[in-house]
Amino acid sequence: MPADTSITSQLNSLRTGPDERGHFGIHGGRFVAETLMPLMLELEKAYNHAKTDPQFQEELDYYLRHYVGRPSPLWHAKRLSETLGGAQIYLKREELNHTGSHKLNNVMGQILLARRMGKTRIVAETGAGQHGVATATVCALFGLECEIYMGATDVERQKPNVFRMHLLGAKVHPVTAGAGTLKDAMNEAMRDWVANVENTYFLVGTVAGPHPYPAMVRDFQSIIGTEAREQIQEQTGRLPDAVIAAIGGGSNAMGIFHPFLDDADVPLYGVEAAGLGLDSGKTAASIARGKPGVLHGNRTYLLQDDHGQITEAHSISAGLDYPGIGPEHSWLNDIGRVNYVSATDQQALEAFQTLTRLEGIIPALESAHAVAHAIVMAPTMKKDQTIIVNLSGRGDKDVPTVAAHLGVKL
């Protein structure tokens, strides 16, 4: 970097957060029990060290290229675009990564860090099972013990992924507390970690949790946006007119958004899961229907009642079924840089089928929420405008769920 770009451009950049205590505006922070606090400080130190170590970056690049399969393509979805009759839609094909989703980008980064820190046992939470599968995969690759916490409801609706984790040698613990979804799995994973701090690394799957997780996971996922930003310029000669990504905790969205944050002319759309509808009481839209609060180590928008009790989220997609959202998203909402919108279960189901029929790509139900918003937006735009949709995962795992919703017995 030339010296003259550093000070002023950094001051004007939206990409420099969080502050040294992990805050993004009022959000973020490190709200953990004292037992974990020294570990958070140790992790932060280890990550800061790794981040600036060229050897770490080289090692990560090696695995991303030869094991994960990066870079992922940017696909011009011509039939979908033509059918919608508006903007040209480009799909960032994260579903083509090994294990079938964007999750491996982050997991690969963190597992290399865990190895540097000398940890031999990995715990992780998972919702749809994509993060669990990715974690179990790298544990198999590096010969590490792997314990996955997954809500009992999710174990039921994501059976293929549960079996994949078993095959990969991970132990899957179904969590029956609460509604048996991602929030409860997160609690249980934290309990395991606090009881096994000596040898255990908590491999968080999204851009949430105590500092430094939100920043670290974002950094590892930012490769999505870095590639997409180059690819769209190669293919169209300019930046896109919109970038759309689905949001549960928000890691795929943060990954694609972050490299575009300083491109003020590129509107960014985060699609929350509206579930049965924003006002149905059965929703996972934390920004649309939540209030700032503290859970799982960070302050962020949370679905909660007037007394500060966290309420259950609902989404057809297990990966979006979480009552919170990463703190950087909450901040980007507060400052108005990202537009947070939503798509219902029904819209996602329809988008799932539309994309499958028109492009031959079966999207994960999570990613189908992003596609659903593109289906709404594209017709309102001109034919020479472009939209990038982050296709964060493939939908094989959701085939049983979709079949059930369509009344088909497999």
Q: Which is nearer to another protein, 72 or 300 (CB)?
A: 300
342 annotated active-site: no
Residue 337 CA from chain centroid, whole number:
18
Should residue 214 be labelled a site residue for another protein when binding is judged by CB under 8 A?
Answer: no
User: Which part of the chain contacts another protein (CB under 8 A), choosing from 70-78, 90-98, 175-183, 225-233?
Assistant: 175-183
By CB under 8 A, name the one of 84, 122, 186, 217 that touches another protein.
Answer: 186
Among positions 231-250, residues that touch another protein (CB under 8 A) are: none
Catalytic residue among 103, 119, 183, 397: 103
Give the dihedral sign, CA 221/175/402/329. negative
Should residue 31 be labelled a site residue for another protein when binding is judged by CB under 8 A?
Answer: yes
Among positions 360-389, residues that touch another protein (CB under 8 A) are: none
Q: Which is nearer to another protein, 110 or 200 (CB)?
A: 200
CB 172 within 8 Å of CB 158: no
Should residue 178 be labelled a site residue for another protein when binding is judged by CB under 8 A?
Answer: yes
Calculate the alpha carbon distances from 191 to 21, 36, 100, 323 in Å. 23, 10, 29, 19
Cβ 360 to another protein shortest distance, Å:
42
Cβ 328 to another protein shortest distance, Å:
18
Should residue 393 be labelled a site residue for another protein when binding is judged by CB under 8 A?
Answer: no
Should residue 195 be labelled a site residue for another protein when binding is judged by CB under 8 A?
Answer: yes
Cβ 309 to another protein shortest distance, Å:
4
By CB under 8 A, name the one of 68, 256, 302, 318 that touches another protein.
Answer: 302
By CB under 8 A, name the one of 198, 234, 265, 384 that touches another protein.
Answer: 198
Cβ 125 to another protein shortest distance, Å:
11
Cβ 230 to another protein shortest distance, Å:
38
Binding letters toward another protein, positions 269-298, x by CB under 8 A? ----------------------x-xxxxx-
Binding letters toward another protein, positions 36-75, x by CB under 8 A? xxxx------------------------------------
Partner residues linked to 244 by β-bridges: 269, 389
Catalytic residue among 72, 101, 342, 392: 392
Cβ 355 to another protein shortest distance, Å:
35
Give long-range contacts, CB 8 A cutoff, 24+ apart: 230-233. 231/71, 231/73, 231/74, 231/92, 232/74, 232/90, 232/386, 232/388
101 annotated active-site: no
User: Which part of the chain contacts another protein (CB under 8 A), choosing from 75-83, 120-128, 154-162, 188-196?
Assistant: 188-196
Catalytic residue among 44, 94, 95, 125: 125
Cβ 253 to another protein shortest distance, Å:
24
By CB under 8 A, name the one of 4, 34, 58, 384 that touches another protein.
Answer: 34
Residue with tokens 């509604």: 179
317 annotated active-site: no
C-alpha closest to that of 132 among 170, 94, 95, 100: 170
Residue numbers at the binding site for another protein (CB under 8 A): 21, 29-39, 177-178, 183, 186-187, 190-191, 194-198, 291, 293-297, 299, 302, 304, 306-311
Q: Which residues are catalytic, by number? A: 103, 125, 392
